Structure 1
Amino acid sequence: MTATADPTTGSLAEVTDVVVETLGIQDRAGNLDASTPLFGAMPELDSLAVLELVSALEDRFDIVVGDEEFGGEIFETLGSLAAFVDGKRG
């Protein structure tokens, strides 16, 4: 079963907050939604920023992301990232 991000639960909003804070993109926060592309489309999200973002998500949501879980599909969109976090919280 695949987890989906449900904006009504606040998960998408919380993940968005972490992304905005970690990447320093407060000026664009109002334009972000579940379909916003991340890695490869957002210049601030380079390989180092991915590590910082994962660390921030682990801290915020009290989850652990294993090295084997890193994949491009997780960072495809803000919604896919929120769905991943939802699955980890589970």
Structure 2
Amino acid sequence: MQPDGIAEVENTVRAVLRDVLGISAERVAAFTEATPLFGALPELDSMAVAGVLTELEDRLAILIEDDEVDGEMLESFGSLTRFAAAKALK
């Protein structure tokens, strides 16, 4: 069972990746927790990372500090979703 709000955060992460990266809804819907992101998605380059993080901040009403951004957080769809949920569901 997922904690309250995690499904909403996951849907928001999917929507941000779709909107910012221009990925189809079908492709994003197929992402699993293990789906690799940074380094695996050509659309997610270093410039796009800034857009994704800014959009997550706006849509989830969170603040992401520069020192929190690392390769591990962007490694997979699951790691990005867990990070966003930890910030949003405090």
Query: Is TM-score (shorter-chain normalized) higher than 0.5?
Result: yes
1:44 aligns with 2:40: no
- The 8 Å contact of residues 74 and 80 in structure 1, kept in 2 or not, is answered as yes
Residue equivalent to 2:11: 13
TM-score normalised per structure 2: 0.85
Q: Residues 6, 61 of structure 1: CA spacing in aligned structure 2 closer, same or farther, 3 A cutoff? A: same
CA RMSD of aligned residues (A): 2.2
Gaps of 5+ in 1: none
Tell me, yes or no, if structure 1 residue 23 matches structure 2 residue 21.
Answer: yes
CA distance in 2, matches of 1:41, 1:32: 12
Larger mean Cα displacement after TM superposition, 37-46 or 8-17: 8-17
Q: Is the 8 A contact 2:73 2:83 kept in 1?
A: yes
Paired-residue identity, %: 40
- In structure 2, what is the Cα distance between the partners aligned to 1:72 and 1:78? 12
Greater length-normalized contact order (CA 8 Å, ≥ 6 residues apart): 1
> Where in structure 1 do 4 or more consecutive aligned residues deviate above 4 Å?
4-8
Unmatched tracts of structure 2, length 5 or more: none
What CA deviation, in whole Å up to 9, does each residue of 1:5-62 have, x standing for no partner?
8896332222111111110001522322221100000000000000000000000000
TM-score (norm 1): 0.85
Contact 1:12–1:34 under 8 Å retained in 2: no
Measured in 2, the distance between the counterparts of 1:77 and 1:6 equals: 22
